[in-house]
């Protein structure tokens, strides 16, 4: 385990069928582990289902992109904010697919009672609400929302006392490997100047990215000391101090995400880079986390736990 410390809905005509409720008797009551033991599908909800990542997750679950893995994953809830224009509509056509008999809803409590795991790619405020609500139904969570504020982090910490939570700023398996390599490099090169560069599409709202901050935190942790973070540089900054760790953000075009950690020494430099060419990689990681977290004990976990990287 890692040491890091909505009410309108149209009734679904098929919501009581076995296809959409394979384990209603155990919903929110520790049923996930039982489902896995008897090889029933893990029922998954998507919170923030109409966001960029949410739609990818919905399509992935409906199309069975991860169907070769066991246990199977089944979409049984798609949640959005109150007053969303697509509330009460079948989620399939809303996401560019055919009808599937499952409506977009803002009834979070009901959605949580119909899932074994909820995947969250929403906003910090919405994540805080989800974490608090999940405690009431004992629902495991996979949280990929970034730029989490203090209230959201506190809600996650509280929820983790009751339910297992996978929380990561980046669900890509490759980024998890990058972080493992980064920690080894930072520890082996303690006196090298470390800098982080991140590139994202023009529509990204936050800077630096959550992943860039995660990389910086990993460097500091491996070295056992805090750094003087420099979020960009401008003007007469003077020579670089040994205590600095720079994070530079670049925005443009449709770049999905690219992160490079530099270690500058005298006469050499080391670069460790991860490039995401499609958001599908984040969805696959989130689905892998959902499958894994369903059988875990309460606590906060990271993707390194999901991947078994200890």
Q: What's the average model confidence in pLDDT over 251-257? A: 96
pLDDT bin (cut points 50, 70, 90) of residue 310 is low
Chain region(s) in the chain for CATH 3.40.50.720? 24-171+280-306
Choose between 188 and 13: higher pLDDT.
188
CB-hemisphere CA count at 13 Å for 141? Answer: 35
User: Which active-site residues does the annotation give?
Assistant: 200, 204
* CA proximity to 96, closest of 41, 54, 43, 45: 54
Chain region(s) in the chain for CATH 3.30.360.10? 173-276
Provide the CA 174 distance to its chain's centre, in angstroms.
14
92-116: pLDDT as tens digits: 887 888 899 999 999 999 999 999 9
**What CATH number belongs to 24-171+280-306?**
3.40.50.720
77, pLDDT greater than 70: yes
Q: Output DSSP code: residue 12.
A: P
- Whole-model pTM? 0.78
Q: Output DSSP code: residue 213.
A: H
Residues 6+ apart with CB under 8 A from 80: 6, 48, 49, 50, 86, 87, 104, 105, 106
Superfamily per CATH, domain 173-276: Dihydrodipicolinate Reductase; domain 2 (3.30.360.10)
6-63: pLDDT as tens digits: 222 222 333 333 333 332 333 333 444 555 555 689 999 999 999 989 999 999 999 8
* CA proximity to 306, closest of 210, 165, 207: 165
CA distance 220 to 275: 22
28 phi-psi bin (left φ>0, alpha ψ -120 to 50, beta other): left
């Amino acid at each position: 385990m890692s040491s890091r410390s909505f009410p309108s809905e149209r009734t679904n005509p098929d919501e009581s069928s076995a296809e959409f409720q394979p384990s209603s008797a155990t919903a929110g009551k520790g049923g996930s582990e039982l489902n896995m033991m008897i090889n029933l599908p893990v029922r998954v909800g998507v919170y923030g289902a109409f966001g960029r990542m949410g739609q990818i997750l919905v399509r992935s679950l409906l199309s069975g992109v991860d169907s070769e893995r066991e246990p199977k994953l089944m979409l049984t809830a798609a949640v959005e904010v109150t007053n969303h224009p697509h509330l009460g509509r079948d989620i399939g056509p809303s996401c560019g697919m055919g009808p599937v008999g499952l409506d977009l809803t803002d009834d979070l409590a009901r959605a949580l009672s119909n899932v074994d795991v909820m995947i969250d790619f929403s906003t910090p405020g919405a994540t805080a609400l989800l974490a608090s609500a999940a405690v009431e139904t004992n629902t495991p969570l996979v949280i990929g929302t970034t730029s989490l504020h203090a209230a959201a982090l506190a809600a996650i910490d509280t929820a983790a006392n009751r339910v297992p939570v996978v929380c990561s700023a980046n669900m890509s398996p490759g980024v998890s490997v990058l972080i493992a390599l980064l920690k080894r490099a930072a520890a082996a090169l303690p006196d090298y100047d470390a800098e982080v560069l991140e590139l994202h599409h023009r529509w990204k709202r936050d800077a630096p990215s959550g992943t860039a901050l995660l990389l910086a935190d990993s460097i500091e942790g491996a070295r056992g000391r805090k750094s003087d973070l420099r979020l960009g540089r401008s003007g007469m900054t003077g020579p670089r101090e040994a205590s600095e760790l720079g994070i530079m953000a670049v925005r443009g075009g449709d770049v999905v995400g690219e992160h490079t950690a530099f270690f500058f020494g005298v006469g050499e430099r080391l670069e460790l880079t991860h490039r995401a060419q499609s958001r599908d990689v984040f969805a696959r990681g989130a689905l892998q986390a959902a499958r894994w977290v369903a059988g875990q004990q309460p606590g906060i976990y990271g993707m390194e736990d999901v991947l078994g990287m200890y």
